[in-house]
């Protein structure tokens, strides 16, 4: 599970007479990740699409256009059934004519509605003006101009204009109409010339004789009629959609499959009479793939397993050769001389398409599979890298649960995850699985923290004097030691987590290079990390180290085990190991000496686990304090207890050994004397509790979730993982809407 599936590079060589059958067999087997031919070798050139590809693509474009017009989606699918070519062609022609006709009608009606709306909008200024449209045009001796402007500047400009003999300005709101008599009866545009320096937006007078209000009413009536017609067309389109949606989905799938087959030779190397197809298949599926091609064309095509990719980077160690028996032909090494390959290709041998990296098939079934989503969000692993999905599965839910640690929230997270898992497919389904695991660990840690239920310790409701081993999260005076102990737990988890990352880096470097590189590049960091922290947890200079570093073991084991630090000799040995690590790092990777403190800093970064734990616990506590009130027992040195009732509040106020923290909103409600204020307080307190816990629930995702992901991506992945692998895209597809006859 830490490695992707083993991949083999294969080639299929055959006569062009059987290329259709080979493509059909490869498509049906759905395992060959085709490698594009790059024109590197003499005598071969990229292939061309098979006959009929252009027609198929035209039909496919038509189908997708119709789906877009009708707004067809996968929810409109019917039961899968075969679809032959004659039925597809005839039905597609019928649906296309009907939909295009209705769509043209819809576009025409929508244009008409839009035009009338624009005309209505254009009439609004004239309605403000209140002058019939027929009075705003058609004069010989005067000019009429309508526009939006302030009257003052307009009148001043007209008074100063020598080309205007007389004028009048009619104002309605922000619109004004100017009627002016030019000095020269033959002059034109004198009003507009006079207003050149004035801020005015001129308006064209509509060609209508009615009053603006009457004209708008006419336009609105026409618009209403057009909308009725549009609704009728929309209804007809919906009817067509109900009838044709299933067919269109089947047609798109069928045409897509056929088009992919017709265009497959574009990735092949071809000569006048032969073709060579290359690509990658999972090694374990190669015998089945070879048999599928042989069943289809017999000995008219030859399938070779050229190489098996090893889990190392590109270069001389990229692949492992395959014995002649493995694929029925001699093997081809990635380090073979290029000129020899060209000669072999020209002489009729196979033409290698290059040495591209194999695609990655992550091998994480079962519970760990959905966590591939989190890994791929960072980057798909390279074929040569360890796949960290299993490690993320083992650590992400635990970190999330540790930080939230509440039975109530955990149940809700798990319920939300179950809903997503059952109602959705793809990424949302996988996120649902991740949420269920996170919720399960949140429940487990919630029980560990004292059956924490929405910030309340439910064990306190159990009959008798029940004492839970863990007092809480470190929020009340009685359990402060637990809060500090959880800080130590976070740090120790960080040490272990980073050790795993450095060990994976060591193993990977050892396999890719040699022991010397592994020691310099990864072993040095292991020595620095463990040596430094052994020294920190040792009894060397005990007075300079906080007591909780050593007391945490006793707290966490309920006093069964005590720890006063590693002996001084062990501590100095750790310091020596850290120094040795620095020396090795300086020899092997001198530039990285600038980051010599990163093993300490990165481990301290895991303290965010404890910080989020206290923050989320504190938020839940604050919500409960506001809603229900709380007190601390044992004279202020004990634990938080919520009050809930007015009667209990009075008891706390009268008891000297119990310190009131906050009275709470709901405690104002007294069942013995129900009043308006008390009822409002009860309802308000419940609202505060519900809304507050919903906020905490959502912030749990954005804080605990993001912080856990950050620790995985930055601190953990940074030691051994880069990502950037190629997705495995096998030639072929699984049918959803059609069946083969």
192 within domain boundaries: yes
Environment class of residue 55 by beta-carbon count within 10 Å: exposed (0-12), middle (13-18) or buried (19+)?
Answer: middle
What pLDDT digit, counting tens, does each position of 595-616 carry?
889 999 999 999 999 999 999 9
**pLDDT at 332 (0 to 100):** 35
Domain count along the chain: 4
Which residue, of 346, 372, 406, is where some domain finishes?
Answer: 346
If asked whether residues 98 and 181 sit together in one domain, one would say: no
Tell me: do 90 and 103 sit in the same domain. Answer: yes
Distances (CA, A) of 251 to 65, 76, 525, 719: 12, 13, 58, 49
Query: What pLDDT does residue 233 have?
Result: 96
| Averaged pLDDT for residues 152-177 | 89
Mean pLDDT of the chain: 87
Q: Once rounded to an integer, what is the mean pLDDT over residues 324-334?
A: 37
Between 544 and 492, name the one with better pLDDT: 492
Tell me if 468 is assigned to some domain. Answer: no
Give the CATH number of the domain where residue 29 resides. 3.30.70
Q: Which of 99-113, 138-152, 181-195, 459-473 has the lowest mean pLDDT?
A: 459-473
> Where residue 227 falls among pLDDT bands split at 50, 70, 90?
very high
Whether 87 and 229 share a structural domain: yes
Is the pLDDT reported for residue 688 higher than 70?
Answer: yes
* CA nearest neighbour of 379 among 718, 15, 681: 718
Q: What is the pLDDT of residue 139?
A: 86
Q: Is the pLDDT of residue 346 over 70?
A: no
Of 384-398, 464-478, 543-557, 571-585, least confident by mean pLDDT is: 464-478
Average pLDDT over residues 145-168: 90
Q: Kindly state the percentage of the chain with pLDDT values over 70.
A: 92
Give the per-residue pLDDT at 347.
40
Same domain membership, residue 105 and residue 235: yes
Higher pLDDT, 261 or 216: 261
The percent of residues in the chain predicted with pLDDT above 90, rounded, is 55
* 128 assigned to some structural domain: yes
Confidence of residue 312 (pLDDT cuts 50, 70, 90): low
In a domain? residue 84: yes
Overall average pLDDT of the 338-362 stretch: 53
pLDDT at residue number 243 = 93
At which of 287, 318, 346 does a domain end? Answer: 346
Flag whether pLDDT at 221 surpasses 90. yes
Q: Is the pLDDT of residue 355 over 80?
A: no
72 is a domain residue:
yes
Buried b (16+ CB within 10 A) or exposed e, 201-223: eebebbebeebbeebbeebeeeb
**Which segment of 16-25, 27-36, 62-71, 653-662 scores lowest on mean pLDDT?**
653-662
Cα 61 versus chain centre, distance: 29
192 and 154 housed in the same domain: yes
Say if CB 21 and CB 296 are below 8 A apart.
Answer: yes
Has residue 133 got a pLDDT over 60? yes
Please tell me the distance from the alpha carbon of residue 38 to that of residue 351, in angstroms, as a whole number: 10
Compute the distance between CA of residue 89 and CA of residue 83 in angstroms, rounded to an integer: 10
Does one domain contain both 68 and 179? no
pLDDT at 580 (0 to 100): 96
**pLDDT tens digits for 169-185?**
998 888 889 999 998 88
Q: Considering the domain boundaries, does residue 322 fall inside one?
A: yes
* CA–CA dist 595, 589 (Å, integer): 11
Segment 516-527, tens digit of pLDDT: 999 999 999 999
276 and 206 part of one domain:
no
Q: Are 166 and 155 in contact (CB under 8 A)?
A: no
Nearest to residue 192, comparing CAs of 237, 230, 145?
A: 145
Range of the domain at 200: 119-215
**pLDDT at residue 317 in the model:** 37
Residue 731 lies in a domain: no
Whether residue 106 is found in the same domain as residue 251? yes
Q: How far apart are CA 223 and CA 219, in angstroms?
A: 6
In the prediction, which pLDDT does 330 show? 32
Based on the domain organization, do 150 and 165 belong to the same domain? yes
pLDDT of 281 above 90: yes
Same domain, 238 and 101: yes
């Amino acid at each position: 599970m830490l490695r992707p599936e083993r991949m083999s590079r294969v080639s299929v060589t055959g006569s062009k007479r059987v290329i259709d059958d080979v493509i059909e067999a490869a498509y049906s087997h759905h395992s060959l990740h085709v490698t594009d031919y790059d024109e590197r070798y003499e005598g071969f050139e990229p292939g061309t699409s098979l006959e009929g590809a252009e027609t198929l693509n035209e039909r496919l474009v038509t189908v997708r256009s119709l789906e877009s017009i009708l707004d067809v989606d996968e929810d409109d699918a019917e039961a899968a059934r075969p679809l032959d070519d004659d039925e597809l062609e005839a039905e597609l022609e019928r649906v296309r004519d009907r939909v295009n006709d209705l769509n043209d009608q819809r576009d025409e009606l929508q244009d008409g509605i839009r035009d009338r709306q624009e005309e209505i909008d254009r009439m609004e200024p004239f309605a403000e003006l209140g002058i019939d449209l027929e009075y705003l045009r058609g004069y010989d001796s005067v000019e009429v101009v309508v526009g939006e402007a302030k009257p003052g500047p307009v009148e001043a400009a007209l008074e100063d204009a020598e080309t205007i003999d007389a004028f009048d300005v009619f104002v309605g709101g922000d619109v004004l109409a100017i009627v002016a008599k030019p000095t020269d009866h033959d002059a034109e545009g004198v009003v507009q010339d006079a207003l050149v320096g004035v801020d005015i937006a001129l308006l064209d007078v509509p060609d209508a004789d009615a009053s603006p209000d009457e004209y708008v009413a006419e336009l609105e009536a026409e618009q209403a009629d057009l909308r009725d017609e549009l609704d009728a067309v929309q209804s007809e389109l919906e009817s067509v959609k109900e009838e044709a949606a299933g067919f269109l989905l089947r047609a798109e799938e069928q045409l897509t499959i056929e088009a992919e087959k017709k265009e497959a030779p574009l990735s092949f190397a071809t000569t006048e009479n032969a073709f060579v197809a290359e690509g990658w298949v999972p090694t374990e599926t190669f015998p089945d793939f070879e048999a599928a091609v042989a069943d289809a064309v017999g000995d008219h095509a030859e399938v070779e397993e050229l190489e098996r990719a090893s889990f190392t980077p590109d270069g001389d160690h990229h692949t492992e050769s395959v014995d002649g028996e493995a694929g029925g032909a001699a093997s081809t090494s990635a380090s073979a001389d290029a000129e020899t390959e060209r000669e072999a290709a020209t002489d009729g041998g196979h033409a290698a398409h290059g040495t591209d990296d194999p695609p990655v098939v992550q091998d994480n079934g079962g519970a760990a599979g959905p966590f591939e989503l989190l890994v791929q969000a960072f980057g798909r692993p390279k074929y040569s890298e360890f796949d960290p999905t299993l490690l993320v599965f083992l650590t992400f839910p635990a970190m999330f649960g540790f930080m939230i640690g509440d039975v109530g929230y955990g149940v809700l997270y798990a319920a939300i995850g179950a809903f997503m898992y059952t109602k959705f497919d793809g990424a949302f389904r996988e996120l649902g699985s991740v949420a269920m695991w996170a919720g399960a660990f949140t429940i487990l840690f919630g029980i560990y923290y004292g059956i924490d239920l929405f910030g309340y310790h439910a064990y306190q409701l159990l009959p008798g004097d029940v004492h839970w081993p863990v007092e809480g999260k470190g929020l009340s005076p009685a359990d402060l030691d637990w809060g500090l102990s959880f800080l130590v737990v976070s740090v120790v988890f960080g040490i272990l987590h980073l050790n795993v990352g450095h060990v994976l880096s060591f193993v990977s470097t050892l396999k890719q290079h040699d022991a010397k590189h592994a020691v310099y590049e990864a072993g040095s960091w292991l020595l620095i990390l463990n040596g430094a922290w052994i020294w920190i947890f040792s009894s060397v200079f005990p007075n300079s180290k906080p007591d909780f570093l050593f007391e945490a073991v006793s707290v966490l084991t309920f006093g069964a085990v005590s720890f006063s630090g590693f002996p001084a000799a062990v501590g100095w040995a750790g310091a020596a190991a850290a120094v040795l690590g620095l020396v090795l790092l300086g020899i092997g990777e001198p530039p990285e000496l600038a980051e010599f403190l990163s093993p300490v800093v990165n481990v301290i970064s895991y303290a965010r686990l404890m910080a989020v734990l206290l923050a989320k616990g504190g938020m839940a506590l604050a919500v409960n304090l506001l809603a229900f009130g709380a007190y601390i027992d044992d004279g202020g040195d004990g634990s938080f207890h919520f009050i809930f009732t007015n009667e209990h509040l009075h008891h706390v106020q009268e008891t000297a050994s119990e310190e009131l923290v906050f009275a709470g909103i709901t405690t104002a409600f007294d069942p013995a004397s129900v009043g308006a204020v008390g009822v409002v307080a009860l309802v308000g307190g419940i609202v505060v509790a519900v809304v507050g816990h919903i906020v905490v629930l959502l912030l749990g995702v954005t804080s605990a979730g993001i912080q856990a992901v950050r620790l995985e991506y930055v601190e953990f992945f940074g030691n051994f993982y880069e990502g950037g692998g190629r997705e495995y895209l096998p030639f072929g597809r699984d049918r959803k809407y059609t069946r083969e006859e």
